[in-house]
Amino acid sequence: MSVTRFEIKYVDRKGFEKPMPSPRPRFRKAGKFIQTYMPASYMKHKEYIQKQMPKLLIEDPVKLEIYFFIPMAKSWTKKKRTLLLDKPHHIKPDIDNLLKTVMDAANNHVWNDDGQVYEIVTRKIFSQEAKIIIKVIEFKS
């Protein structure tokens, strides 16, 4: 078994200040056809995440542990912030949409195909700073 741990850090810049959930695809008419695309902001965010990931191209089965640290709203009182710090993040965005963004970014980069992932442990946690901690456990066959 090989274990790789890395962290995705966020900066105070529009679109890159916290983990972004995967949005719904958009559609547009192109002549006789309907074209499907993902919003540009999502594609930029996914690229931002991917640049911080190691290029491993793992071929073996993979187990993942992913922790999303979501910052608390600045408008919240100090009491509320202290109370919720390091507690489970139980409000939007949905954990499955956050996970999809990371999985899409890691595809053909950390591993060859997301079909190799056989187990995932995912958590959302209230935090002071936004980040994602990813642990990739490679099962050597």
Assessment of whether the complete model's pTM goes beyond 0.85: yes
CA–CA dist 21, 25 (Å, integer): 12
Q: Domain extents for the chain? A: 2-138
Task: Report strand pairing: 117-127 vs 62-71.
Answer: parallel
Task: Give the fold, CATH level 3, of 2-138.
Answer: 60s Ribosomal Protein L30; Chain: A; (3.30.1330)
pLDDT, tens only, 62-108? 999 999 999 999 999 999 999 999 999 999 999 999 999 999 999 99
